[in-house]
Amino acid sequence: MGVLMRFLGCVVAMPVAAWLLPGVHAATPEAAWIAGLLLGIVYLIIRPIAKLILSPFNCLTFGLVGFLIDVLFLRFVAGNVAGFVVDSFLWAAAASVVVAVMREALGKAGKRK
């Protein structure tokens, strides 16, 4: 249940990030939802593999590489969804923080009984 809630956290976080952050733009609400869906899929499939491969560097940089992976995934999604644009690396970092907070909050809510 926690994995599903984290996935839904990614999906919901992208429209929220587009609404909150002036450097994250969605031409339509559907574009933001599609970006969230793609980000959720990337986080489910590719992120664990990337984190495993880069875990020695993540330990050496006290988690900075893990954060960088999340930002790069968000930039990847923005580049592949028509109508969804992130202006710069810093806006992608801010959106990544929004996504991480919502993903973890919903993940914790899914574990409660």
pLDDT tens, the chain, 113 aa long: 778 888 998 899 999 999 999 999 999 999 999 999 999 999 999 999 999 999 999 899 998 999 999 999 999 999 999 999 999 999 999 999 999 999 888 888 877 65
Residue partners of 80: CB distance under 8 A and separation at least 6: 38
- Reported pTM: 0.88
What are φ and ψ of residue 86, in 5° steps?
-115, 125
Residue with tokens 């996935």: 7
Distance CA 107, CA 9 (A): 7
Domain boundaries, the chain: 2-111
